Amino acid sequence: MSTREASDRSDPVIESRDQLVAPMIAGEKSKADWRIGTEHEKLVFRTRDHAAPSYNEPNGIRDILLSLQEFGWEPITEAGKVIAMKGVDGTVSLEPAGQLELSGAPLESLHETCNETGRHLDQVKQIGAKSGVGFLGLGMWPDKTREDLPVMPKGRYEIMMRHMPRVGNLGLDMMLRTCTIQVNLDYSSEADMAKKFRTGLALQPLATALFANSPFTEGKPNGYLSYRSHIWSDTDPHRTGMLPFVFEDGFGYERYVDYMLDVPMYFVFRDGKYIDAAGMSFRDFMKGELPALPGELPSENDWWDHLSTAFPEVRLKSFLEMRGADGGPWSRICALPALWVGLLYDDNALDAAWDLVKDWSMEEREELRNTVPRLALDAPVPGGGTLHDLARDALAIAREGLAARGKLGQSGDNETGFLSTLDEIVETGKVPAQRLLDKYHGEWNGDVSRVYKYSF
């Protein structure tokens, strides 16, 4: 989730609809300038008892963040509390219950992306070894209740936690108990954005299946392979889901702006503080009729903040965010951008990927999205067969797309090797969650705590 550093009252006031579309138009880049931004979250636990550390305790989340200064990171504060660290590799921030997120820098190749992830994980593991903390790559806490978890001191989280129970049953679980991997990708034009958005949205259940890694809740199997994905289905219907309008003729920036104007607000950021505007209308804000700030008009930063508060399976800002995957270890953090870059950054691959899904109806897309959290690769796909069958075709397309990019690493290898962990999943037919369940029912003897030895 984005991190604001300061309030800016000199930011231009929004006076026309053109300013709402401007961030998306500004995101257009020539193909040579397309970059890859990878984000991943991880669970933080005390090694002595597997508890989630609080913000203030010795060697807690605040101290972990500040320890990154020894690697050149600089603090970002809110109300006098450090809430993130910024550096050449992007931003390290804290999620609502202390999950640690790296929002990586925009990079040219997957080689750079995986090196960035490796540097970050090496740094936090060094800190963890000194501090008695570990980092776990899962899609959800395997054994913690909501009450077991601390809440981090960020104003937007306080507002969101009050609002979530008003609009869904699992929103607090989303905030407190889940982790994800995301990839941010560029586009060259409105038409290119629309094609990538549609293809990415239709294939998002494939990413959910391949990366399914959240089969436990409070120490026991929960009946799902990606419970994290299921949680999103009962979080907030106003700002989640598969966005049927994306597949309609004429979809573009203007239509996405209309969607965002209908997404209820969470907050407004003023003078370093978050003002509760939960459930209020950005349309009213544009008329100077926002109850939280009567008579005041929104700024361009307010609009940018609002764009970050919708959580569909694919999100548009000045880039496209692929949001369907559970958290996981280093190899899968590298594999997710490999999948999407391979499918979406080469024209022939993008055409082939769209051909896989273009004939699906919206009802079929929704059904697949709703089935995948339980069945993963065994979910049936429109037209016959399973997602396992489609995964083989999609990985072949992604491999061709990566090879066509011709981005070589220091040893002369191209980017296709980053798909190897997904090749293994498809070859065996077992997603990460199924492997964990096999261990739970086998060598772990029903003891979920054994999962902590699989930390980063």
pLDDT of residue 10: 75
Provide the 10 A C-beta neighbour count for residue 158. Answer: 16
| Three-class SS state of 1 | coil
Structural domain containing residue 86: 18-438
Question: What DSSP line would sit under 108-158, residue for residue?
Answer: SSHHHHHHHHHHHHHHHHHHHHHHTEEEE--SB-SS--GGGS-----HHHH
Cα gap 343→195, rounded to integer Å: 12
- Determine, yes or no, domain membership for 10: no
Q: What is the residue-level pLDDT of the chain in tens, covering all 456 positions?
A: 556 555 445 789 999 999 999 999 999 999 999 999 999 999 999 999 999 999 999 999 999 999 999 999 999 999 999 999 999 999 999 999 999 999 999 999 999 999 999 999 999 999 999 999 999 999 999 999 999 999 999 999 999 999 999 999 999 999 999 999 999 999 999 999 999 999 999 999 999 999 999 999 999 999 999 999 999 999 999 999 999 999 999 999 999 999 999 999 999 999 889 999 999 999 999 999 999 999 999 999 999 999 999 999 999 999 999 999 999 998 999 999 999 999 999 999 999 999 999 999 999 999 999 999 999 999 999 999 999 999 999 999 999 999 999 999 999 999 999 999 999 999 999 999 999 999 999 999 999 999 998 776
Where does 226-380 have alpha helices with state H? Answer: 227-232, 253-262, 282-286, 300-307, 330-344, 347-357, 362-375
In this structure, is residue 11 part of a structural domain? Answer: no
228-251 burial: b if 16+ Cβ within 10 Å, else e: bbbbbeebbeebbbbbeebbeeeb
- Name the domain count of the chain: 1
- 209 near 431, Cβ under 8 Å? yes
80 falls within a domain:
yes
pLDDT at 3: 62
Domain membership of residue 453 (yes or no) is no
For residue 9, tell me if it sits in a domain: no
For residue 245, what are the CA distances in angstroms to 167, 192, 196, 240, 365? 22, 16, 14, 13, 13
Domain presence at residue 454: no
CATH number of the domain to which 55 belongs? 3.30.590.20
Contact 368, 324 (CB under 8 A): no
In a domain? residue 63: yes
Q: Which residue in 140, 106, 100, 139 sits closest to 120, CA to CA?
A: 100
Residue 396 lies in a domain: yes
Which pTM was predicted? 0.96
